[in-house]
Amino acid sequence: MTAVLEIEGLTRRFGTVVANDDVSLRVRPGEVVGLLGHNGAGKTTLVSQVVGLLRPDAGRITVGGVDAVARPAAARRMVALQPQAHVPIDGLTLTAAVKVAARLRGLDAGQAGEAARRLVAELGLGAWADRRALPEGRGLSGGVRRLAGFAMAVVGGAPLVILDEPSNDVDAVRRRALWATVRRVADQGSGVLLVTHNVVEAERVVDELVVLDAGRVVIAGTPARLRGDDGLRLELHLVPDGPDPSDPGTATAGGPPVPVPVRRRVRSGRRVLLTVPPDAAAAAVSWAASHREQGTLDGYALTPATLEDAYLAATSDPARETEGVTGGA
């Protein structure tokens, strides 16, 4: 299927900083593609170029078959963007704001009103439907304003929907509704580019993921592929109280090292994530339990492998160390 967004070799510098470094990605109709990366990874720079706010130094951006660098205005008409900053809606009720966005996307007054009411209900915002946003953040809370921006981006089914951190300051109940709506919007034919640094949430909704680190694509693919091809890995999360007992270098202090094969160890702050095979679950838990009893671990948990360890391993953070296979008994 023809992609609704195609980016090839995109490069954008700010002085000596290469904010996007030879980035390529593709979003097809019906697909949710997650663009992940830490603060400063280059996500907003990429989005700004797609919507014509910045010009690339090199590379190609095509939106719905239109060259977005040569014809930014024509390309922009096919894109609905929820920016990271709050959308200015002061003076409007929640429903009216969504209706205005629907009208701008070509729906007639009746269709726009109906679509706005449906979205407000779908997102669990009925209680605020007719509440007016007022200056200085009054009238509607930050979370409701964020959802208003989200509803304004998804209403009317633009060919390409770009959502920049849509779930920031949204409560847990409405987050669920939001992710369900993202999926519905894609199922109805839009291509969705979801920009986030929340890898756990992204995993639930995306079809493909592209991870940026310091401007470069470091991993890309489906969540299943990025988790590990067999999909049968477990993660042992450890919170050491002092030296890490899973580190062969310090293990002698609290007993033997982990008695199971460890495929990967990622250390992030106080937390350590060990990727272990499923048949090692019982041995891994009993090792961790004994360390918990001795007080060398503050806590531990064994969970199915998520994208988080792949993400942490692929992205750089000076406060973090990643090791490959460490063997085991």
Residue 84 CA to residue 150 CA, distance in Å, equals 10
Closer Cβ to ligand ATP, 45 or 82, answer by number: 45
Closer Cβ to ligand ATP, 40 or 157, answer by number: 40
Closer Cβ to ligand ATP, 12 or 103, answer by number: 12
User: 53 CB contacts (<8 Å, ≥6 apart)?
Assistant: none
Amino acid, single-letter form, for residue 98: V
User: 269 CB contacts (<8 Å, ≥6 apart)?
Assistant: 319, 320
Closer Cβ to ligand ATP, 92 or 218, answer by number: 218
Least separation in angstroms between CB 244 and ligand ATP: 29
Closer Cβ to ligand ATP, 123 or 212, answer by number: 212
Least separation in angstroms between CB 193 and ligand ATP: 13
Least separation in angstroms between CB 45 and ligand ATP: 3
DSSP string, 143-163: HHHHHHHHHHHHTT--SEEEE
Residue 145 CA to residue 88 CA, distance in Å, equals 9
Closer Cβ to ligand ATP, 216 or 271, answer by number: 216
Query: Contact 194/223 with Cβ under 8 angstroms?
Result: no
Least separation in angstroms between CB 118 and ligand ATP: 31
Query: Contact 12/48 with Cβ under 8 angstroms?
Result: no
Closer Cβ to ligand ATP, 41 or 258, answer by number: 41
Query: Contact 156/113 with Cβ under 8 angstroms?
Result: no
Enumerate binding residues for ligand ATP (CB under 6 A). Answer: 14, 17, 19, 37, 39-45, 197
Q: What order of strands is seen across the sheet that includes strand 66-67? A: 17-27, 5-14, 58-63, 66-67
What CA–CA distances, in Å, run from 274 to 74, 196, 252, 267, 268?
A: 49, 24, 18, 9, 11
Q: Counting Cβ atoms within 10 Å, is residue 172 exposed (0-12), middle (13-18) or buried (19+)? A: exposed
Least separation in angstroms between CB 11 and ligand ATP: 12
Least separation in angstroms between CB 37 and ligand ATP: 5
Residue 317 CA to residue 21 CA, distance in Å, equals 18
Least separation in angstroms between CB 313 and ligand ATP: 19
